[in-house]
Amino acid sequence: MLILIKRNANKYLCQMDKNLNSVSELGEFGLINKLTKDIKVKHQTTHLGIGDDAAVINNGKLETVISTDMLIEGIHFDMVFTPLKHLGYKTVTVNISDICAMNAIPKQILVSIGMSSKYSIEAIEEIYNGIKHAAKVYDLDIIGGDLTTNPSGLAISITAIGEAKKEDLVYRSGAKENDLIVVSGDLGGAYMGLNVLQREKEVWNSNPKIQPDLDGHDYTLERQLKPEARLDIITLLKEQGVKPTSMIDISDGLASEIIHICKQSKKGCQLFENKIPIDTSTHKTAIDFNINPTTCALNGGEDYELLFTVDINEYEKIKANKNLTVIGHITNEESGINLITNGEQSTPIKAQGWDHFK
Site for its own copies in 91-150 (CB under 8 A): 107-108, 110, 112-115, 117-126, 128, 132, 139, 141-150
> What type of residue sits at position 175?
A
Which one of residues 165, 258, 345, 356 is an interface residue with its own copies (CB under 8 A)?
356
Q: Using DSSP bridges, classify how beta strands 141-149 and 105-115 pair: parallel, antiparallel or unpaired.
A: parallel
Does 18 bind its own copies (CB under 8 A)? Our answer is no
Binding of its own copies by 70 (CB under 8 A): yes
Q: Given the rule CB under 8 A, which of 28-36, 276-284, 297-305, 312-320 is the region that contacts its own copies?
A: 28-36
| 323 interacts with its own copies by CB under 8 A | no
Angle subtended at Cα 160 by Cα 154 and Cα 166, rounded to the nearest 5 degrees = 160
The kind and range of the H/E element at 268 are strand 268-272
Stretch that binds its own copies, among 167-175, 208-216, 240-248, 344-352 (CB under 8 A): 208-216
Of 108 and 294, nearer to its own copies (C-beta) is 108
Q: Pick between residue 91 and residue 338 the one whose CB is nearest to its own copies.
A: 91
Residue 256 in contact with its own copies, rule: CB under 8 A = no
Task: Select the residue interacting with its own copies from 41, 292, 315, 350 (CB under 8 A).
Answer: 41
Q: Among 92, 101, 104, 155, which residue interacts with its own copies (rule: CB under 8 A)?
A: 155
Contacts by residues 77-85 (CB-CB < 8 Å, ≥ 24 positions apart): 78/197, 78/198, 78/201, 79/154, 80/201, 80/204, 81/197, 81/200, 81/201, 81/225, 82/225, 83/126, 83/225, 84/123, 84/126, 84/127, 84/130, 85/126, 85/127, 85/129, 85/130, 85/133
68 close to 99: Cβ distance less than 8 angstroms: no
Residue 1 or 320 with smaller CB distance to its own copies: 1
- Which range touches its own copies (CB under 8 A), out of 155-163, 178-186, 277-285, 307-315? 155-163
Regarding 198 and contact with its own copies (CB under 8 A), the answer is no
Q: Which residues of 16-29 are buried (b: 16+ CB within 10 A; e: fewer)?
A: eeeeeeeeeebeee
Q: Rank residues 121 and 320 by Cβ distance to its own copies and give the closer one.
A: 121
**Which among 65-73, 179-187, 255-263, 308-316 is the span making contact with its own copies, rule CB under 8 A?**
65-73
With contact defined as beta carbons under 8 Å apart, do 92 and 125 qualify?
no
Task: Choose between 213 and 342: whose C-beta lies nearer to its own copies.
Answer: 213
> Count of alpha carbons within 13 Å of 55, Cβ hemisphere only?
13
| Closer Cβ to its own copies, 76 or 243, answer by number | 76
Q: How far is the C-alpha of 39 from the C-alpha of 82, rounded, in Å?
A: 37
Rg (CA), the chain: 21
Does 257 sit near its own copies (CB under 8 A)? no
- Of 153 and 336, which has the nearer Cβ to its own copies? 153
